[in-house]
Amino acid sequence: MYDVVLLVEQELTEPDAKRVVELHQDMPEPVKYHVLVPCHNAEAGVEASISALGTADLYGPGLVDQREELAEAQKAIDSEARDCTGRSVQRLRDLGQQAEGGISHDRPIDALTATVEKVGGQEVIILTRPHIVAEFFHLDWTNSARRHLGVPVLHLLEHEEQKTRK
């Protein structure tokens, strides 16, 4: 079995799933895809934003009152991430591939590293929108993954869905 870990920024489109599968069509052994979707931590995001603004002293205690709302927001974020993962996995399965997936609240590269180790990943594909500034400074997921992993890392840009114009 040849295990490929896919770190995706958003749901795999049908063209993206086809493109990924085509990369491995001539493999002599079966391929299994492991889809990983990073999931935003709502509470940490709010706290980081407040700290970055230097207003934690003013608003930090107010977060205690917001815990319930943040928990509800996190449930919605997690649900959407699980749905995104499920649809991405199903697109790969619809193409006759073995696939599984999951979400992670860890930093994307930490989650990717853990997944590669857990499944014995032999290749990583990172699918993102263009991030020009991060790529220029080599701070993007792909460059980070190349520094942390000892497996081939391929970066693909997400294929934009064609929208019908009236």
158 or 51: whose pLDDT is higher? Answer: 158
d(CA 25, CA 150): 23
Instruction: Give the pLDDT of residue 33.
Output: 96
Give the mean model confidence (pLDDT) for residues 49-71.
57
The predicted pLDDT at position 161 comes to: 54
159 or 133: which leads in pLDDT: 159
Of 36, 30, 40, 46, give the one whose Cα is nearest residue 11.
36
- 119, 151 in Cβ contact below 8 A? no
Q: What confidence score (pLDDT) does residue 4 get?
A: 93
- What pLDDT score was predicted for residue 91? 95
Q: With cut-offs at 50, 70 and 90, classify the pLDDT of residue 52.
A: very low
Residue 32 falls in which region: left (phi positive, over 0), alpha (psi -120 to 50) or beta: beta
- pLDDT the model gives residue 73: 76
Q: pLDDT grade, residue 70 (50/70/90)?
A: confident
- What distances in angstroms separate CA 147 from CA 94, 101, 111, 154, 159, one per listed residue? 33, 24, 14, 13, 26
Give pLDDT, residue 164: 38
Residue 102 DSSP label: E
**Cα gap 122→69, rounded to integer Å:** 41
Instruction: Note the pLDDT of residue 157.
Output: 58
Give the mean pLDDT of 131-140. 48
Q: pTM to 2 decimals?
A: 0.69
Are 131 and 26 in contact by the 8 Å Cβ rule? The answer is: no
| 150/97 Cα distance (integer angstroms) | 25
pLDDT of residue 165: 37
pLDDT at residue 119 in the model: 94
pLDDT at 130 over 70: no
Q: What is the pLDDT, as a whole number, of residue 84? A: 87
